[in-house]
Amino acid sequence: MNYRQLKIFAACCMVFDHVVRIFPLPSLLAPLADRLYQGGQTALADWLLEEFTFYLMFIGRLAAPVFLFCIAQGFCRTHDVGRYLRRLLLTAVTAQIPYALFDLAVSRLYGIAADWRWTDTGLNILFTMALGLAALAVYRQLAERGHPVSGLLAGAAATVLARLLSTEGSRGYILLIFVFYLTRNLPRYRRALLFIPAVALSRWGLVQWMVTDFSAGAVRNCMLNVAGNYLGMLVTLAYTGEKGGAGKGFQRFMYLFYPAHFALLALIGFLRPPF
């Protein structure tokens, strides 16, 4: 896949992940399950509502790693990192209110008390990407001066700041941005192998939870959020290195699409009756 196709793929996965929070998969599949129950296909209906919906949720987990990969690739290709960073931050700020309202709408649908302030909802993923991009810029400057190890401290600082600011993905996503950048010239099979410890470290809290509490819930959560992210990282191995017509018009659309889809889904969520 070229750069444009990767971004479209990631956007589709992201939208799916957010839509099913407003329209939960079990409720969408309920009419079909009811027919199966009426036809005596109880086992199949149960599988449809439980296992099948669980596997469908993996679609949404593919989005973030692909977007993080695009940040690393965009950093390598851009002629003006400062301008790239400003675009990310402007979009992040623009998207924050729709992002918070979307989270509030989802909480309302599930009958959960919530607050729209960023201190409760956290900052959206574009803030994490901006921190990762800024850290890469510092790392490259120090590496070119012969101080690559010192440059890694920029990644550590960005990780700490992401956690303090409660950005989406926080420390784990900063790590993955660096992994994508540092492994970009390696053969595909080596990247696939290195992605395994990288994604485990990026989701270390979930891995620890599964190890210490080997319950069905912990295992399923780890599978979804660790294995799902790893599958998303594997998708990036299909990147051909071509831009694929991802010009300024396409870039503008993607920057506008992110806050716009949150605003639309938030509106739908507030109009829908609670579950």
Span 145-169, average pLDDT: 91
> Are residues 230 and 196 in contact, defined by beta-carbon separation less than 8 angstroms?
yes
DSSP type of residue 275:
-
Top pLDDT among 120 and 195 is at 195
Q: 77-86 burial by CB neighbour count: b if 16+ within 10 A, else e?
A: eeeebeebbe
Q: Residue 217: count other Cβ atoms within 10 Å of its Cβ.
A: 10
- Give the structural domain span for 80: 3-271
- Give residue 114's pLDDT: 64
| 118 pLDDT tier (thresholds 50, 70, 90) | low
- Give residue 120's pLDDT: 63
Residue 167, strand partner residues: 123
Q: How many CA atoms lie within 13 A of 255 on its CB side?
A: 18
Indicate the number of domains in the chain.
Answer: 1
- From the list 239, 218, 220, 237, the residue with the least C-alpha distance to 228 is 220
CA distance 264 to 253: 16
Q: How far is CA 203 from CA 56, 71, 199, 232, in A?
A: 20, 19, 6, 14
Segment among 8-22, 103-117, 157-171, 230-244 with least mean pLDDT: 103-117
> Are residues 117 and 158 in contact, defined by beta-carbon separation less than 8 angstroms?
no
What share of the chain has pLDDT > 90, as a percent? 73
Length of the chain: 275
CA distance 112 to 271: 16
| 116 pLDDT tier (thresholds 50, 70, 90) | low
- From the list 155, 145, 147, the residue with the least C-alpha distance to 175 is 155
Span 73-93, average pLDDT: 94
Whether the per-residue pLDDT at 121 is higher than 80: the answer is no
- Give residue 151's pLDDT: 85
- Give residue 207's pLDDT: 82
